[in-house]
């Protein structure tokens, strides 16, 4: 007997489809709840890392003294240490960690290169060249001048890389951007090395800047680049939906109505602003932009609307923890750039060997 089209069978089929749809919504809701709870947990971790960064160093400061220094400062030794040294350093670490984490996530998404870091677009070498140029040619000797030159050099180098990578009918693609970035980076590295060899003072400043450090005893360094950092973060968040579409392939993205060139331009602009701000005040800090996006991707998946905020918060936590470890071990030797290299190398090796994490 044929019962396929009976009313009872059709009703059962409809109820079954409704149950399947309801079951399908469950995992999505649970995933979203886990992502939200993860962001809350990361925000708490950032707050804890901030307190640890203020409290610990070559001298530990108790929590009541920290509270007093922040809300009712005076001329005590603890208040001076916190207000003049550790607070600027911690705030700078927060901003730089967020900037490099977000920039790394964007750059790996746009280039489809799991080993890409924010320096790929020539940002680092552009800033280094400008710092050495300011010393050897213009005689700039103050830190704020170095920051201004470094930021300008980073942005100019990024603009040149994007312009070279956009030549041709295909416009800017992951391959052309990577090749243009490598070419400009090596060119600027050669020019920087030549200037450093000809000027002893430039060599000394460049050597310290090249290590990567949060040792800035003034708020001006952070305030100088703060507006560009905020613009870069807003541009990065606005770029995430388009980046999700580009992950399907450029042809599919164009078929869905995505303006690929505009999305690429916005993404590269955000990377340049964020990395340029970080490199200008702290020098080239490695591994944050390389490692953090992979960790965030393992937690959130490939949705850049969640991956980018996760990468920013993880970058801030990792940078502050590395800076505290360096200060506790030896404030004169282990700058944050050195500590991140020591901590990041094992993670980098694991990423190379782990096909699940590095696949984009």
What's the CA dihedral at 86, 84, 123, 292 to 10 degrees?
A: 20
Q: Which residue did the predictor score with more confidence, 8 or 306? A: 306
Average pLDDT over residues 307-313: 96
Q: Is residue 214 predicted with pLDDT exceeding 50?
A: yes
Check residue 314 and give its pLDDT: 96
pLDDT at 120: 78
Of residues 270 and 204, more confidence is placed in: 270
pLDDT reported for residue 217: 52
pLDDT in tens, 170-200: 667 778 888 888 899 999 989 988 888 888 7
Give per-residue pLDDT as tens, 313-360: 999 999 999 999 888 887 565 788 888 888 877 877 776 676 555 556
Closest CA to 50 of 291, 313, 263, 356: 313
pLDDT score, position 159: 84
The pLDDT value given to residue 3? 43
Residue 262 pLDDT? 86
Report angle CA 52, 56, 58 to the nearest 5 degrees: 160
- Cβ atoms of 263 and 240 within 8 Å: the answer is no
Let me know: does 140 contact 146? Beta carbons within 8 Å. Answer: yes
In the predicted model, what is the mean pLDDT of residues 45-57?
A: 92
Compute the mean pLDDT over every residue in the chain, rounded to the nearest whole number.
Answer: 81
Hey, what domains does the chain have and what are their CATH numbers? Answer: 36-358 (1.10.3470.10)
What is the C-alpha separation between 196 and 314, in angstroms, rounded? 35
pLDDT of residue 332: 60
Using CA atoms in the order 187, 192, 195, 198, what is the torsion angle rounded to 10 degrees? Answer: -110
CA angle at 350 for the pair 314 and 288, rounded to the nearest 5°: 30
Least confident segment among 75-89, 205-219, 242-256, 265-279: 205-219
What is the pLDDT, as a whole number, of residue 78?
85
Average of per-residue pLDDT across 131-135: 85
């Amino acid at each position: 007997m044929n019962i396929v089209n009976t009313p009872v069978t059709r009703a059962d089929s409809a109820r079954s489809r409704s149950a399947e749809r309801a079951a399908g919504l469950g995992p999505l809701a649970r995933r979203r709840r886990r992502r939200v709870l993860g962001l809350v947990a990361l925000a708490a971790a950032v707050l804890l890392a901030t307190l640890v960064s203020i409290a610990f160093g070559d001298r530990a400061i108790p929590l009541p003294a920290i509270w007093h220094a922040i809300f009712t400062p005076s001329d005590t030794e603890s208040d001076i240490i916190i207000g003049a040294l550790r607070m600027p350093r911690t705030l700078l670490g927060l901003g730089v960690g967020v900037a490099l984490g977000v920039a790394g996530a964007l750059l790996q998404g746009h280039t489809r290169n799991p080993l890409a870091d924010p320096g790929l677009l020539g940002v680092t070498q552009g800033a280094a060249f400008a710092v050495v140029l300011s010393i050897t040619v213009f005689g700039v000797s103050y830190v704020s001048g170095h920051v201004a030159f470094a930021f300008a050099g980073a942005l100019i180098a990024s603009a040149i890389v994007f312009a070279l990578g956009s030549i041709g009918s295909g416009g800017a693609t992951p391959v052309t951007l990577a090749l243009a970035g490598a070419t400009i980076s090596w060119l600027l590295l050669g020019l920087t090395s030549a200037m450093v060899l000809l000027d002893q003072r430039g060599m000394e400043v460049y050597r310290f800047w090249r290590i990567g450090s949060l040792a800035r005893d003034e708020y001006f360094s952070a305030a100088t680049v703060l507006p560009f950092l905020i613009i870069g973060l807003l541009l990065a968040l606005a770029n995430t939906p388009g980046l999700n579409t580009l992950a399907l392939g450029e042809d599919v993205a164009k078929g869905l109505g995505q303006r690929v060139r505009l999305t690429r331009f916005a993404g590269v602009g955000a990377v340049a602003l964020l990395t340029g701000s970080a490199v200008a005040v702290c020098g080239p800090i490695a591994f944050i932009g390389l490692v953090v996006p992979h960790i965030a991707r393992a937690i959130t998946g490939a949705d850049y609307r969640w991956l980018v905020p996760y990468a920013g918060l993880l970058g801030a936590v990792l940078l502050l923890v590395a800076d505290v470890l360096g200060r506790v071990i030896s404030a004169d030797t282990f700058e944050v750039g050195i500590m991140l290299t020591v901590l990041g190398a094992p993670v980098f090796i694991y990423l190379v060997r782990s096909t699940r994490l590095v696949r984009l």
